[in-house]
Amino acid sequence: MELFWGNFVAPKVAKEFAASLIEGTWGHREELDRLIGDSSDNWSLGRMSKVDISILRLAVFEFLYCDDIPFKVTLNEAIDLGKTFGAENSGSFINGILDALNLKLKKENADNPINRSTRSAKT
C-alpha cells in the first residue's frame, strides 16, 4: 500500500477506507474463499482467474463486514470491476457467484434465526 500511495494522491479518508478493505479482505481470505468455493458450482478457486478471485473476495468481505454498503452497491461495483479488469465473461461470472452466495446465506439465516448477523438477511 505504501508503494501505491507513494505514486498516487488521494484524500486521507479514501486511503483509510482502502486500507480497511485491503486488510479486512486479506485477513478474512480463508473464510471468504470457503464461501466463494461453496457458492461456485463446477468452479474451484484454482480454476478462477486471480482477478476474479480478488474481486469476489473484496465483494464478499464488503457483503459480510461493511454494513454501511448496500448489497446492490457491492454487487454492481464487483460486476463493473470484473468487466473492466477481468476477462470477457468476468462480470456475469462474478454476478452469478455473488447471487448464489446471497441466496445461500438468506436460506441459512431463515433456517437458523439465531444467526441473523449477516447482511443478506437485510436485503
User: Are 84 and 23 a contacting pair, CB within 8 Å?
Assistant: no
Q: Using 50 as the pLDDT threshold, list the residues of the chain that sit under it.
A: 115-123
> DSSP character for 118?
S
Q: What is the pLDDT of residue 107?
A: 82
Q: What CATH number is given to the structural domain containing 84?
A: 1.10.940.10
What's the domain count of the chain? 1
The number of beta carbons lying within 10 Å of the beta carbon of residue 27 is 12
Domain coverage including residue 41: 2-122
Q: What is the pLDDT of residue 55?
A: 97
